[in-house]
Amino acid sequence: MISLRAVIALILLPLNLLFVLIKYPFFGGVNPIYKNDLVNSLKLTVYQALINFPLDDVHIFSIISAEFVINKAVGKLYPGLTSKLPNYGKKFDKQSFWLVEKPNRKPDDPVLIYLHGGGYFLGLVPQQIESLVTTYHLLDPAKRENLSILVLDYNLTCQGYPIPHQLSQLVETYTSLVKEGGKNFLLMGDSAGGNLAITFTQYLRLSNSSNLPYPKSSILISPWVKLIAETYQNTPGHSYYNYSSGDVTQYDTLSGSEVYQHILGTETKLNSLTVSPGNCPYDSKDWQDIPTYNQPGHSVFVLAGEHETFRDDILEWSKYALNYPLDELDFQDSNGEFNPKVHKYIRNDENSAYIDVTIVPWGAHDFLFFEHTLIGKLKSEPSLKLQSINKRKYFGTTSVVNFLNTVLPGEK
């Protein structure tokens, strides 16, 4: 049985979608970036409903397994793009699947571990895998030649596994890869997966018994660095207040006790660097000894939407962890135009890690859920090149591909 709140939410969803349809010809889409995009306006409305769904009932949306998503949904729909990927859909351990496993992997061959978003209570969905497959195919051939991609299928909070259980699963899978001889790892996480990638580096720093190597690179897409929003953030001038109505994630959902109790349980402390860095007092010293963020040979990519509610939290974390010059920037509305002086920060210092912090003009939360349609173009045109893609429409995808082309080994 589901609650009355859940029944009401299910009834309201088609009504909200109908409202978007009726409104669109006269006023456009749900936010500036999708003003002329009905499909993504409808998607965003659905994603809002999922994130705002009563957490005691959200398990009804987590009945499809990651194996089904990877092998049946995406694998069968795009056989031309997946069937030739070595070991596509093969299990590595009890909680992870290969999208690509390079045959005869050497210790220095890069392994990208993907950590999916969904608030820790929603499972892997086809859109995320479609975006990953697209990213892989758009890489320069020399860059993807030795690259493997592994998807972590962590247990969900709605299934009775509160945080930090997911971190323990990542440690377990990461350890297994290291025992096989691997030492060149990249973490890629969107939303909650970004939180997991960040807290994993703090686990390595704080764990006295860990001999695991730090990730060589982290790709953080709209990372959820602050699990519980604070009251002051729901005031004018803050991204939660300014953009909640037109974004997937909203203040009312992510500031209440329901989220706290559901994802953390009763024993986990919120103000822990291995749980929610943004809910801890920031100190650069907590981040300066983490090689991923500061040592040569390492790299970090951060992508935030200009109009996403997490923007302030993401950039504040970037300030302390990556020395992002937040206080020097004057954020005026971009009017949808990319200004590299404001929306792109590159640190390319031979004595430190390579850092790329990018803001998507007018961007909303987590592009993986909106730009996955690019796989359709690849399906019809397998030889599609990055240079021929509409950079404005697929800003997030092209930004990630460009970053990976920069940091992955192999000739350009």
Q: Band of the pLDDT at 412, cuts 50, 70, 90?
A: low
> Which class would CATH give 63-407?
alpha beta
Beta bridge partners of 303: 221, 358
Instruction: Give exposure, 59-80, as e/b (b: 16+ Cβ within 10 Å).
Output: beebeeebeebbbebbbeebee
CB atoms under 10 Å from CB of 2, counted, come to 15
Percent of the chain as helix, strand, coil, to the nearest 5: 45, 10, 45
- Span 380-386, average pLDDT: 94
CB 100 within 8 Å of CB 85: yes
Q: Please name the residue that has the structure tokens 């006790």.
A: 257
In the chain, the percentage of residues whose pLDDT exceeds 70 is 99
Q: Is residue 257 predicted with pLDDT exceeding 90?
A: no
CB 213 within 8 Å of CB 11: no
CA 2 – CA 7 distance, rounded (Å): 7
Backbone angles phi, psi at 299, to 5 degrees: -160, 155
Report the pLDDT value the prediction gives residue 328, as an integer from 0 to 100. Answer: 84
From-to residues of CATH 3.40.50.1820 in the chain: 63-407
Report the pLDDT value the prediction gives residue 261, as an integer from 0 to 100. Answer: 86
Of the chain, the end-to-end C-alpha distance in Å amounts to 56
CA 271 – CA 280 distance, rounded (Å): 5
Sheet of strand 185-190, all strands in order from the earlier edge strand to the far edge: 91-93, 96-100, 148-152, 111-115, 185-190, 217-221, 299-305, 354-360, 344-347
pTM: 0.97
Beta bridge partners of 79: none
Q: Band of the pLDDT at 119, cuts 50, 70, 90?
A: very high
Report the pLDDT value the prediction gives residue 117, as an integer from 0 to 100. Answer: 98
CA 154 – CA 314 distance, rounded (Å): 23
CB 271 within 8 Å of CB 329: no
Residue 410, helix vs strand vs coil: coil
